[in-house]
Homo-oligomer: A and B are copies of this chain.
Amino acid sequence: MIKVGIVGATGYVGAELTRLLHHHKEVEISFLDSRSYAGMDYGRVYPNLRNVVTDQCISINLEENLDDIDLLFCALPHGLSQPAVKKIYQKKKKVIDLSADFRIKNFETYETWYGTKHEALEELHAAVYGLSEIYQDEISKAQLVANPGCYPTSILLPLYPLLKENAIIPENLIIDSKSGISGAGRTPADGNLFAQCHENLKAYSIGVHRHIPEIEQELSIAAGEEIRIQFTPHLIPMTRGILSTIYIPNKQETKLQHIKEIYNSYYEEQPFVRLLEENEYPQTKAVSGSNYCDIGIKIDDRTNNIIIVSAIDNLIKGAAGQGVQNMNLMFGFNIDEGLQQTAMWP
C-alpha cells in the first residue's frame, strides 16, 4: 500500500486518475489538490464519484507536508508543471507528470513548440519518457516519469516497433488522427462547447500541433535517424477516444506476417495491446474506458502502402491509465492492477 497525491485533481485527467486510483488495491489517495475547487467535496465536482470518493479538494502547498507521500501525480497544464515537478523532485519524491513539460528531451525544441522557457532542466534531464510497453525497464527505475501525450501514445505503440526492427522505411509517414472532445479539457471555451462540436467535424493545427516534436523524438530514437511526420489531428463529435490512421509507403514490401511477428515479440506479454485479425480495424468504442490500445493492419498491394489503425481511450491509455501503468512499473505492482476494466458495449 502506497500513499499517492494528485496535483491538479479536478481536470479531466486528474478525475480519471482519481477514479482509477480509488479502485487500485495498492494505493491510498492522500490528497486531491485543486485550486479551483478547494474546500469542495470531490463527489460534487465529479458526481460519478459521489459517496465513493469522499475527500474534499484541497489546495496543497508543495513545500510542506509531502513527507508522507510515496508518489505524486502532477496533472497540471504545461508550463505550470515545471515549478511543481521541480519542487517535488528536489524533495526526492517519485513523480509522474502528465503535462508536456518533461517529454521533450531537447529543451530548445520544447521552447520553440510550446513558446515558453524551460526552467527545470535538471529534472528534464532525469525524466524518463513513460511509454509503458517500450520503456518499462527505465520506468521501473525512474524517479520522474514524463507521461506521454494522447496522440503520441496512439501513434508510437504501432510505429515504434516497426521502425526499431527496420520493417519500414521512415519516409513520407502520414498520420491522420481523430480525437474526441474531452482532449480539449474542462476549461470552458468556444471550441469545446456542445453546440459548436456536436454534429460537426474538423481538422485543426495541421502541421503545427504540439505533439509533433514528441512523436518525432520517439520515432527518431526507434529509427536511429531523424524523422519527420505529417500529422493532422481532427475533432470528432464524441467524448472519448483517439483513432490514428497511419500511412506508410511499403518500400521494402514487408509482409503482414512479418509485421505481426514484430508486434507479437513486443506485445505478446503485454496485456494492453491487442492485435486485430486481418481486415479487422479498431473502433474507439471497443477501448473506451479501458487501458487497451487496439491495432489493425492493412497491407494494400494495389497501392504498395501499409495502413495501420490504432485506437485508444485518450484519457486512459492516452493519459491517466498509462500513468497508473507506469506507477505499477515503478512500484513493482502487477502491471494491470487497477486497470482491468474493459470497455462497455454499447
Contacts and interface: CB of A to CB of B under 8 A. Distances in A.
Contact of A228 (B22, B180, B288, B303): B303
B303 A239 contact: no
B236 A236 contact: yes
Contacts of A237: 194, 198, 236-238
A242 to B, nearest CB: 9
Interface residues of A, number: 86
B236 A342 contact: no
B307 A232 contact: yes
Contacts of A204: 281
Given A181-B198, A247-B174, A274-B50, A305 B230 contact: yes
A192 interface: yes
Contacts of A1: none
A232 B245 contact: yes
Interface string A195-235: 11111111110110000000000000000000011101010
Interface stretch (A11-19, A27-35, A86-94, A139-147): A11-19
B234 A245 contact: yes
A343 interface: yes
A274 B50 CA distance: 8
A243 interface: yes
10 contacts: A23-B342, A48-B287, A48-B290, A180-B195, A188-B193, A194-B196, A194-B198, A203-B245, A203-B296, A207-B303
Interface of A: 12, 15-16, 19, 22-23, 44, 46-52, 172, 174, 176, 178, 180-182, 184, 186, 188-190, 192-204, 206-207, 228-230, 232, 234, 236-241, 243, 245, 247, 249, 274, 276, 280-290, 294, 296, 298, 300, 302-303, 305, 307, 309, 311, 340-346
A-B residue pairs, 3 tightest by C-beta = A188-B188, A195-B346, A48-B343
